[in-house]
């Protein structure tokens, strides 16, 4: 355990920054002559540790009760509040440089939420021990965070093996230690936290516990480079790698045979593979249910234009919204060079950009209007009228944009199997081709679009009056129709190949009949077992409906097949009810449509044009998906079955720097866990989610709810400090404004949009390589992980829309209700 130096704080303060002074030894010995020799040694080590130069960046945003701003020191930019800056400069004066002591002092200021919480927890435990308070009802909903995209491979297998070591430092100091695992070229060992080891430092290691197994001879120690130093359970966990080893080194040969012969006895260290598999399985559930639309931006002749989009069933409505009457993509109206520049500026503050839009329909054509908050902020009067005017249109939408720079190195997500892949597994995990990397090189940015439009939000906006709006000023926000739209390719976020058959572009008239009603349309593409049709007018159909198709033009070219009233099942229909995907519906006999299209393809394969989706560069979709997984800042809760109930104990996202996660971490009484109390404590909300999930199918639209969360910083008890209300519980606009006002007076306010989706089945072919590797060395652990994978039932995506709510209620007038406008 780490030595507690609190009783020696006066001595530490006296000698801070003086370790390198010539008089240090004499003065230190005089000041500590009353201490035992061991105590003096440990105290001196602590003073040396505190004086060690530090290169870590400090980011206190979301971690302190204060406003943080960039603070530059020695070429590095930290994010500190006023108190932290004062502490930084004060300690810098003592040590003369940025050291570990400065780093620790800045991270332990009195307004740090962690420090505040630890004090509150200590007071609470003291009160409990003295019987001043009674045990509480459940106020902790612990959850583990799984970070997506970070899957680091190991070059060698590591065997869990504890063997005594001697670590020899530059000054010939010998430290006794014990390994936690070893590999052929490296190992891990533990030391007391007071010891000082730096990354890049070379140390000697003597394997004293192996001297009976291996004849070391004259060379009884080997040089190792320190790769990583982590503080864990009040100890230093040090990772090292062998250096200066000759090609025919006998000790390396010994370790290779020793590990191979004993790895089933001592067990391979599977932590890396287990962590990767758990995160990879979470990613496989979360990404296909993403409600946000990732748009990859291409730089083309000085223009920044959308080039590729990753679509899922949940984000299809967002993608289809930005299409005109000819179904040509108009994402350039949402994402353009000027808006990207505004996003880049806001990214420094980790802010997103809100875009308000509507579509004006005239003579069968679609005209898009959009304005973002930065464009409107300088004219509050016009902004108010614009929001009211736009909200009065059925096509009103609110889109939140986030910006990321694309890192092509993240396009490959290797398995973590220490080079033990079979040829089949290697095929599943091939790196992207040079052609794919060539395309990624032309894509500098990702812009993620979140359509947060919800009827409960729109009702509030419709209370805003737009009387007297300047029409000429409004026209400035209309987008010109392009004669030649920019090409945008759509790729699916999926882990399975959903297309079991090739599709071909083919246009032919089609008549659809259902329950005595008929619609006319034209096909876009077909395969043997299905086709996509665009209708002349919207159809009153839904997923699962059985319809009957007739092909009048195709009937003229064949007398062998009767192409009338063929049964097909509706598998997908767009929001406008004009584009339908169908598959053959077989009752008791062979489907005539399947037979006809099979013969048509066989005889005309050279003449038919394959669907563009199939022509996209192989591997590009997977590469873009991997890059996107690193940019998934929105958190998702993973719902798993536990007997007849549901449990939520997992959070998935690629980063943990959003404010909502920071809040839930501060509320947790356990390190490395997050407390979901603000989200799960409202029984009405959890009941809605549980009941909805039981009825949902994997292809259903997500269930959306809005939570209003108030945090009172002056109250110690979690269940009294946190109040969560559903939007439906706050009946009127005035109720919601009052809730927000009271929350901000007492502490913090959050508005969270939650979207619940039924999870798809996992693709075990993709997960099995790592799962089988784990099962071969830890069969029970492998079975447990597999059971956890198959227990996933749903995904709840969380979107913090607090910023939008603050803008909205700044414009909604007091005492006006929707009923008064009817």
Domains of the chain: residue spans and CATH: 6-117 (no CATH), 159-267 (2.40.10.220), 291-406+443-492 (no CATH), 504-610 (2.40.10.220), 631-821 (no CATH)
The CA-CA-CA angle for residues 388, 389, 390, to 5°, reads 95
Sequence-separated (6 or more) residues with CB below 8 Å from residue 344: 403
Sequence-separated (6 or more) residues with CB below 8 Å from residue 414: 151, 153, 429, 431
* Gap between the Cα atoms of 531 and 506, Å rounded: 10
Sequence-separated (6 or more) residues with CB below 8 Å from residue 285: 638, 652, 759, 760, 762, 792, 795
Question: How far is CA 546 from each of CA 512, 530, 541, 679, 704, rounded to the nearest angstrom?
Answer: 10, 13, 9, 40, 28
Identify whether the C-beta of residue 15 lies closer than 8 Å to the C-beta of residue 24: yes
* Gap between the Cα atoms of 313 and 317, Å rounded: 8
Q: Look up residue 812 and give its DSSP letter.
A: S
Q: Which residues partner with 755 through β-bridges?
A: 704, 797
Residue 591: the pLDDT is 84
3-state SS assignment for residue 74: coil
Q: Using CA atoms of 451, 457, 458, 464 in order, give the dihedral in degrees to the nearest 10.
A: -130
Q: Which residues partner with 304 through β-bridges?
A: 299
Strand positions, DSSP E, 140-196:
142-147, 159-160, 164-168, 174-182, 186-192
Measured in whole angstroms, how far is the alpha carbon of residue 604 from the centre of its chain? 46
* Gap between the Cα atoms of 371 and 333, Å rounded: 10
Containing 371, the helix (H) or strand (E) segment is strand 365-372
Identify whether the C-beta of residue 465 lies closer than 8 Å to the C-beta of residue 733: no
Work out whether strand 164-168 and strand 186-192 pair parallel, antiparallel, or are unpaired: unpaired
Identify whether the C-beta of residue 435 lies closer than 8 Å to the C-beta of residue 328: no
Containing 707, the helix (H) or strand (E) segment is strand 703-712
Identify whether the C-beta of residue 812 lies closer than 8 Å to the C-beta of residue 384: no
Q: Which residues partner with 320 through β-bridges?
A: none
Q: Using CA atoms of 459, 465, 470, 474 in order, give the dihedral in degrees to the nearest 10.
A: -10
Write out 762-782 in H/E/C secondary structure. Answer: CCHHHHHHHHHHHHHHCHHHH
Tokens of 244: 């200066």
Burial (Cβ within 10 Å: 0-12, 13-18, ≥19) of residue 490: middle
Q: What parts of the chain have a pLDDT lower than 70?
A: 1-7, 62, 124, 127-138, 150-155, 217-218, 233, 264-267, 348-350, 417-429, 496-502, 587-589, 609-616, 656-657, 814-822
Residue 779: the pLDDT is 82
Burial (Cβ within 10 Å: 0-12, 13-18, ≥19) of residue 499: middle
Identify whether the C-beta of residue 306 lies closer than 8 Å to the C-beta of residue 297: yes
Identify whether the C-beta of residue 734 lies closer than 8 Å to the C-beta of residue 742: no
Provide the b/e sequence for 552-567 (b: ≥16 CB within 10 Å): eebeeeeeebebeebb
Tell me the pLDDT tens digit for each residue of 46-104. 888 888 888 888 888 767 777 778 888 888 888 888 898 988 988 888 888 898 888 98
Q: Which residues partner with 550 through β-bridges?
A: 511
Question: How far is CA 615 from each of CA 439, 620, 627, rounded to the nearest angstrom?
Answer: 15, 11, 21
Containing 366, the helix (H) or strand (E) segment is strand 365-372
Tell me the pLDDT tens digit for each residue of 156-207. 778 888 889 999 988 888 888 988 888 888 898 988 888 888 888 999 999 9
Residue 216: the pLDDT is 76
pTM above 0.85, yes or no: no
Tell me the pLDDT tens digit for each residue of 599-642. 888 888 777 766 655 446 778 888 999 999 988 888 999 999 98
Tokens of 528: 């043997």
From the list 511, 454, 553, the residue with the least C-alpha distance to 808 is 454
* Gap between the Cα atoms of 292 and 794, Å rounded: 17
3-state SS assignment for residue 126: helix
Residue 739: the pLDDT is 94
Supply φ then ψ for residue 752, to 5 degrees: -125, 125
Tokens of 341: 């520049």
Q: What is the DSSP string of 398-413?
A: EEEEEEEE--GGGG--
Q: Look up residue 808 and give its DSSP letter.
A: H
* Furthest-apart CA atoms within the chain: distance in Å: 110
- CA atoms in the 13 A half-sphere facing the CB of 19: 20
Sequence-separated (6 or more) residues with CB below 8 Å from residue 432: 411, 412, 440, 619, 620, 622, 623
Tokens of 337: 């060079």
Strand positions, DSSP E, 427-585:
445-451, 489-492, 504-505, 509-514, 517-526, 530-535, 546-550, 566-573, 579-584
Identify whether the C-beta of residue 511 lies closer than 8 Å to the C-beta of residue 523: no
* Gap between the Cα atoms of 384 and 388, Å rounded: 6
């Amino acid at each position: 355990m780490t030595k507690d130096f609190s009783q020696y704080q006066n001595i530490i303060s006296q000698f801070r920054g003086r370790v390198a002074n010539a008089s240090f030894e004499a003065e230190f010995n005089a000041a500590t002559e009353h201490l035992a020799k061991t105590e003096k040694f440990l105290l001196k080590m602590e003073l040396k540790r505190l004086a060690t130069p530090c290169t870590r960046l400090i980011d206190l945003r979301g971690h302190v009760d204060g406003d943080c701003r960039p603070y530059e020191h020695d070429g590095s930019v930290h994010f500190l509040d006023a108190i932290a800056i004062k502490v930084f400069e004060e300690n810098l004066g003592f040590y003369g440089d940025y050291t570990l002591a400065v780093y620790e002092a800045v991270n332990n200021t009195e307004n740090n939420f962690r420090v505040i919480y630890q004090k509150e927890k200590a007071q609470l435990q003291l009160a409990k021990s003295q019987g001043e308070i009674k045990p509480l009802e459940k106020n902790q909903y612990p959850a583990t965070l799984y970070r997506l995209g970070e899957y680091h491979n190991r070059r060698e297998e590591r065997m869990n093996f504890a063997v005594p070591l001697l670590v020899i430092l530059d000054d010939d100091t010998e430290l006794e230690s014990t390994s936690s695992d070893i590999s052929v070229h490296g190992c891990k060992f533990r030391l007391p936290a007071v010891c000082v080891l730096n990354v890049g430092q070379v140390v000697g290691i003597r394997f004293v516990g192996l001297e009976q197994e291996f004849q070391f001879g004259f060379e009884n120690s080997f040089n190792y480079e320190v790769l990583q130093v982590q503080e864990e359970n009040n100890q230093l966990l040090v990772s090292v790698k062998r250096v200066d080893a000759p090609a025919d080194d006998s000790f390396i040969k010994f370790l290779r045979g020793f590990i191979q012969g004993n790895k089933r006895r001592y067990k391979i260290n599977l932590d890396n593979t287990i962590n990767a598999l758990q995160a990879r399985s979470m990613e496989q559930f979360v990404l296909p249910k993403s409600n946000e639309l990732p748009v990859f931006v291409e730089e083309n002749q000085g223009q920044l234009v959308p080039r590729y989009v990753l679509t899922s069933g949940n984000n299809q409505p967002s993608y289809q919204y930005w299409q005109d009457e000819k179904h040509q993509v108009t994402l350039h109206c949402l994402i353009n060079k000027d808006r990207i520049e505004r996003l880049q500026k806001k990214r420094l503050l980790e802010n997103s950009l809100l875009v308000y839009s509507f579509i004006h329909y005239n003579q069968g054509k679609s005209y898009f209007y959009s304005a973002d908050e930065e464009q409107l902020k300088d004219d509050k009067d016009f902004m108010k009228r614009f929001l009211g005017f736009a909200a009065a249109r059925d096509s009103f939408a609110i889109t939140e944009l986030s910006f990321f720079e694309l890192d092509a190195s993240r396009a490959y997500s290797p398995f973590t199997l220490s080079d033990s892949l079979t040829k089949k597994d290697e095929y599943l995990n091939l790196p992207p081709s040079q052609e794919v990397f060539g395309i990624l090189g032309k894509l500098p940015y990702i812009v993620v679009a979140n359509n947060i439009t919800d009827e409960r939000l729109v009702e509030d906006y419709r209370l805003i009056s737009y009387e007297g709006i300047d029409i000429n000023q409004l026209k400035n926000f209309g987008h010109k129709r392009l004669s030649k739209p920019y090409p945008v390719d759509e790729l699916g976020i999926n882990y399975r190949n959903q297309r079991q058959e090739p599709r071909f572009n083919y246009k032919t008239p089609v008549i659809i009949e259902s329950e005595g009603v008929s619609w006319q349309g034209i096909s876009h593409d077909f395969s043997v077992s299905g086709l996509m049709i665009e209708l002349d007018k919207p159809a009153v159909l839904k997923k699962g409906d059985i319809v009957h198709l007739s092909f009048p033009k195709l009937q003229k070219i064949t007398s062998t097949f009767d192409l009338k009233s063929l049964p097909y099942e509706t598998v997908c229909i767009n929001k406008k009810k004009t584009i339908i995907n169908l598959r053959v519906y077989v009752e008791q006999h062979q489907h005539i449509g399947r037979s006809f299209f099979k013969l048509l393809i066989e005889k005309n394969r050279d003449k038919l044009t394959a669907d563009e989706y199939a022509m996209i560069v192989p591997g590009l979709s997977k590469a873009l998906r991997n890059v996107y997984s690193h940019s998934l800042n929105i958190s998702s809760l993973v719902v798993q079955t536990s007997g007849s109930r549901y449990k939520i104990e997992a959070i998935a996202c690629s980063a943990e720097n959003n404010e909502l996660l920071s809040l839930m971490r501060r509320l947790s009484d356990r390190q490395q866990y997050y407390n979901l109390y603000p989200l799960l404590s409202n029984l009405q909300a959890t009941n809605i989610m549980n009941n909805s999930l039981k009825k949902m199918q994997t292809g259903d639209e997500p269930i959306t709810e809005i939570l209003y969360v108030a945090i009172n910083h002056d109250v110690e008890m979690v269940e009294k400090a946190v109040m969560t209300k559903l939007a439906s519980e706050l009946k009127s606009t005035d109720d919601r404004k009052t809730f927000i006002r009271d929350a901000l007076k007492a502490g913090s306010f959050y508005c969270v949009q939650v979207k619940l989706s039924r999870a798809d089945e996992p693709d075990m072919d993709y997960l099995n390589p790592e799962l089988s590797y784990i099962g071969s060395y830890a069969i029970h652990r492998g079975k447990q992980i597999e059971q956890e994978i198959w227990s996933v039932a749903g995904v709840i995506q969380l979107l913090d829309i607090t910023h939008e709510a603050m803008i909205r209620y700044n414009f909604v007038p007091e005492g006006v209700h929707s009923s008064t406008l009817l």
